[in-house]
Amino acid sequence: KQEVTQIPAALSVPEGENLVLNCSFTDSAIYNLQWFRQDPGKGLTSLLLIQSSQREQTSGRLNASLDKSSGRSTLYIAASQPGDSATYLCAVDTGGFKTIFGAGTRLFVKA
């Protein structure tokens, strides 16, 4: 059974700091891994998708990596801003139509 874990559960950093969010999964047989952002009381916004054959994806200040063999992904945020404050979720597509989410990391960037 696929399980997804995100560490840390919460993180507070000063503005301008570079930071790394972690996501681990128990079964390496995945189709893709997707990172999302969720603002309080809102739906999810897709940030990056990494296919199982890829090692990383970049979008602006965001870089996501994937190591299937070790069951790990990281989301790197460069030069953090107060507007980056949100919950960040990772999700794995197991290929059986199900997508399994982690519980998320709540990020607070202090001005």
Partner 1 sequence: DTGVSQDPRHKITKRGQNVTFRCDPISEHNRLYWYRQTLGQGPEFLTYFQNEAQLEKSRLLSDRFSAERPKGSFSTLEIQRTEQGDSAMYLCASSFGGARYEQYFGPGTRLTVT
Nearer to partner 1, 18 or 26 (CB): 26
Instruction: Tell me how far, at minimum, the Cβ of 111 lies from partner 1, in Å.
Output: 25
Instruction: Tell me how far, at minimum, the Cβ of 85 lies from partner 1, in Å.
Output: 16
Per-residue tokens: 42: 């809102």
Nearer to partner 1, 72 or 106 (CB): 106
Instruction: Tell me how far, at minimum, the Cβ of 46 lies from partner 1, in Å.
Output: 5
Site for partner 1, rule CB under 8 A: 4, 31-32, 34, 36, 41-46, 49, 51-52, 89, 91, 93, 95-104
